[in-house]
């Protein structure tokens, strides 16, 4: 029997005897692996067990197997890798620099199921025939999405989305080249002034990272409530309550959707509400919150800033037949102030593609917009538009006209 296999089996037995949780106490597991390797080496000298040629590689392999994600752990540890997905046990892909790569990793169907069950153990979420989809957050902050047959044709489908670069402030995005300094200064001023900001873009465009960076500009004394499907935001706010949705239990009850979280957030004395992603009827509850005078920020999938506004005018209609565009369209126009749209440049890097203001006017059922910043010649430049609510900027000591003129 291979030495690494023997060592792994012995470490698992030590874990069982001592009752250590490998998912929550990786340092304790590393100490157990060290002790087991020292004992193994002493036995290998007298020929009781086969020798291990590369002790460092064996240590990592065993630690990854018992306290990590086994063969996938090396991809999680690689800071250049953004996402890992498994289409079948023999098809494990990664994304690096925006490009997909097929890896040489070969798993078994049992190994895939074991990895997913291990990942879900900490989250408390389940995956079975009655609930064939799952979204969960891993201990390291990665987001897991898994689907099982018969929703998929034959194999389990697994996506693990990493957050390679965590931007806590807009200055971090400037340093990464995602945003020019003048646009960052305007967005920071808009957040300080309490404007409502919508962040749009395609999948993997960096919407959550932008929302996290925008939150870094929220005044320190404000109370922030975040509502997400799974925990992703990591704010530096002093007064912050984070809430996530909950799946239904085995009896089909106990589900907590995003709509409920937004409603509950209004009862928690918020100075600011952040919604991780608006997809469905919760858009109505978000608009009601904004109409109540609570500043908010949210993300939304869209192909442009204007399409994001249009989509936000459509999603609330899903809440019921009694919700009409006669209420929704003017409410969107009066509640949304700035839209930040993200995309990728020719090299696959995440960039802010446009920043659009919503002045509050509606013309023939269409919400008017004004271009503040736009993508010209491979860079974001100041355009002619002007943001609404100059008085809100003035209340926090910001001359927004001078700010845009000096940096434009």
Over residues 184-190, mean pLDDT: 97
Over residues 189-196, mean pLDDT: 97
Model pLDDT, residue 275: 95
Q: Is the pLDDT of residue 166 over 70?
A: no
Between CA 76 and CA 60 the distance in angstroms is: 13
Angle at Cα 85 formed by Cα 81 and Cα 91, nearest 5°?
110
Model pLDDT, residue 406: 65
pTM: 0.83
C-alpha distance from residue 358 to each of 180, 296, 386 (Å): 21, 15, 9
Higher pLDDT, 29 or 372: 372
Contacts of 152 (CB under 8 A, 6+ apart): none
Q: Which one, of 360, 364, 401, lies nearest residue 384 by Cα?
A: 401
Q: How confident is the model at residue 67 (pLDDT cuts 50, 70, 90)?
A: confident
Contacts of 371 (CB under 8 A, 6+ apart): 354, 356, 357, 383, 384, 385
Q: What percent of the chain has pLDDT over 70?
A: 98
Model pLDDT, residue 141: 79
Between CA 115 and CA 72 the distance in angstroms is: 9
Count of C-beta atoms within a 10 Å radius of residue 187: 25
Between CA 71 and CA 203 the distance in angstroms is: 26
131-144 per-position pLDDT tens digit: 899 988 887 778 89
Q: How confident is the model at residue 407 (pLDDT cuts 50, 70, 90)?
A: low
213-228 per-position pLDDT tens digit: 999 999 999 999 999 9
Q: How confident is the model at residue 26 (pLDDT cuts 50, 70, 90)?
A: confident
Over residues 340-354, mean pLDDT: 87
All structural domains of the chain, each given as residue ranges with its CATH number in brackets, are 1-68 (no CATH), 69-164 (3.30.450.90), 170-405 (3.40.50.300)
Between CA 33 and CA 35 the distance in angstroms is: 5
Q: Decide: 297 and 291 in contact? Cβ < 8 Å.
A: no
Q: Is the pLDDT of residue 13 over 90?
A: no
Q: How confident is the model at residue 321 (pLDDT cuts 50, 70, 90)?
A: confident
Between CA 264 and CA 266 the distance in angstroms is: 5
102-113 per-position pLDDT tens digit: 999 999 999 999
Q: In the structure encoding, which two tokens stand for residue 292, read together?
A: 């109540």
30-44 per-position pLDDT tens digit: 888 888 888 888 888
Between CA 307 and CA 354 the distance in angstroms is: 12
Quote the mean pLDDT of the chain: 90
Model pLDDT, residue 293: 87
Model pLDDT, residue 137: 84
Model pLDDT, residue 1: 53
């Amino acid at each position: 029997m291979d030495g690494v296999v023997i060592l792994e089996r012995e470490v698992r037995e030590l874990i069982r005897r001592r009752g250590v949780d490998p998912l929550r106490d990786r340092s304790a597991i590393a100490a157990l692996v060290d002790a087991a390797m020292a004992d193994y080496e002493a036995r290998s000298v007298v020929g009781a067990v086969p020798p291990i040629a590369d002790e460092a590689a064996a240590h990592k392999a065993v630690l990854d197997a018992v306290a990590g994600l086994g063969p996938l752990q090396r991809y999680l540890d690689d800071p250049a890798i953004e996402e890992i997905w498994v289409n079948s046990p023999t098809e494990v892909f990664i994304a690096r620099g925006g490009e997909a790569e097929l890896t040489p990793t070969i798993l078994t169907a049992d190994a895939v199921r074991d990895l997913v069950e291990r990942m879900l153990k900490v989250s408390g979420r389940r995956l079975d025939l009655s609930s064939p989809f799952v979204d969960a957050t891993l201990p390291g902050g990665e987001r897991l999405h898994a689907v099982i047959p018969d929703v998929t044709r034959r194999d389990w489908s697994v996506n693990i989305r990493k957050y390679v670069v965590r931007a806590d402030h807009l200055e971090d995005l400037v340093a990464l080249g995602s945003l020019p300094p003048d646009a960052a200064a305007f967005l920071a001023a808009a957040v300080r002034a309490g404007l409502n900001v919508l962040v749009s873009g395609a999948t993997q465009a960096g919407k959550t990272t932008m929302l996290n960076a925008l939150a870094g500009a929220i005044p320190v004394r404000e109370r922030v409530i975040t509502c997400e499907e799974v925990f992703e935001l990591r704010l530096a706010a002093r007064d912050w309550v984070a809430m996530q949705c909950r799946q239904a239990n085995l009896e089909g009850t106990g589900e907590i959707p995003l709509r409920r979280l937004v409603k509950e957030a209004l009862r928690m004395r918020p100075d600011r509400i952040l919604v991780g992603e608006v997809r469905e009827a919760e858009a109505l509850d978000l608009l009601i919150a904004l109409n109540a005078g609570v500043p908010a920020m949210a993300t939304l999938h869209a192909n442009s800033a204007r399409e994001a506004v249009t989509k936000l005018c459509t999603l609330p209609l899903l809440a019921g037949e009694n919700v009409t565009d006669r209420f929704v369209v003017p409410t969107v126009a009066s509640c949304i102030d700035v839209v930040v749209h993200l995309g990728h440049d020719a090299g696959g890097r995440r960039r802010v593609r446009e920043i659009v203001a919503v002045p509050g006017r509606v013309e023939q059922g269409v919400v008017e917009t004004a271009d503040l910043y736009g993508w010209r010649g491979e860079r974001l430049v100041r355009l002619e538009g002007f943001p609404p609510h100059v008085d809100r900027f003035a209340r926090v000591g910001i001359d927004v006209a001078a700010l845009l003129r000096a940096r434009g």
